Amino acid sequence: MNNSKEEFVLYKGIQIEVKNGELRLPYDLPREFEIKNFDEIEGLEKLVNLKKLHCKPFYLEKIENLDHLQNLESLVIKDSPHLSKIENLDNLTNLKILKLTDSNISIIENLDHLRNLEVLRLRKSLETSCSDYITEITGLENLSNLRELDLGGNRIKVIKGLETLTNFKILILAYNQIREIKELDNLSYLEQLYLNSNNITEIKGLDNLIHLKVLLIHNNGPFDNDSIKSLEDMRNSGINVQYW
């Protein structure tokens, strides 16, 4: 006999089922039906055991009314060009995955309470309709469990603010404005590094990355002979290096 209780929410008259602790709002709703505020989802306040919340709310302007979701482990908000600030997440201390992609966020902030966070994605696609971009890596000092950081498609010029993140496995800084590889010495466990489509002309600052398996650094350069030799040496050692 199945004693599990069926859970669902109502949004704009549409019944959406919660499956295995996950609420995934449909991505294909017409724009006039898209979420503008989380309190528009009838029944969300009762889902205190929700583990995953995934949505694509084009008109969302503010993250709020999620305080009761203290068991939430994954929050994914895609394609929200009106969302301009990371906020009101202090109660979500069990959060492991936070993805706020193609948003208008320009400052990395208000993450100190998310000590269990493992994946943070704040990337912007090339087709984004956003007008603001992240220009500086900040606010990550206390996220010692962070394994993956994706800041691709922003306008970062300097690699910094990563010194305390010694458990990093994946760092994505592609499609930025970085000129120099530096401040990576403490990331000895890093396995994948994506620096493609920047303004880098010299290969250095990678010697301590003894566990590196993937390096994407194409659409940079031109590289001098010493840099090309360094890349070839890395490739010959078994690292998947992509450059041209």
Instruction: Spell out the domain ranges in the chain.
Output: 1-132, 159-244
Which pLDDT value is given to residue 26?
Answer: 81
Q: Write down the architecture of domain 159-244 according to CATH.
A: Alpha-Beta Horseshoe (3.80)
Q: What is the number of other CB atoms lying within 10 angstroms of the CB of residue 193?
A: 24
**If DSSP codes are grouped into helix, strand and coil, which group holds residue 45?**
helix
What percent of the residues of the chain are helix, what percent strand, and what percent coil, each to the nearest 5? Answer: 10, 20, 70
Find how far residue 126's CA is from the centre of its chain. Answer: 16
Query: Which one, of 96, 119, 107, lies nearest residue 192 by Cα?
Result: 119
Which pLDDT value is given to residue 238?
Answer: 97
Q: Are 203 and 224 in contact (CB under 8 A)?
A: no
Instruction: For domain 1-132, give the CATH number.
Output: 3.80.10.10
d(C-alpha 57, C-alpha 38), whole Å: 9
Digit-by-digit pLDDT tens for the chain (244 residues) are 334 466 999 987 889 999 999 999 887 777 777 778 899 899 999 999 999 999 988 889 999 999 999 999 999 999 999 999 999 999 999 999 999 999 999 999 999 999 999 999 999 998 888 889 999 999 999 999 999 999 999 999 999 999 999 999 999 999 999 999 999 999 999 999 999 999 999 999 999 999 999 999 999 999 999 999 999 999 999 999 999 8
The whole-model pTM stands at 0.94
**1-132 with 159-244: one CATH topology?**
yes
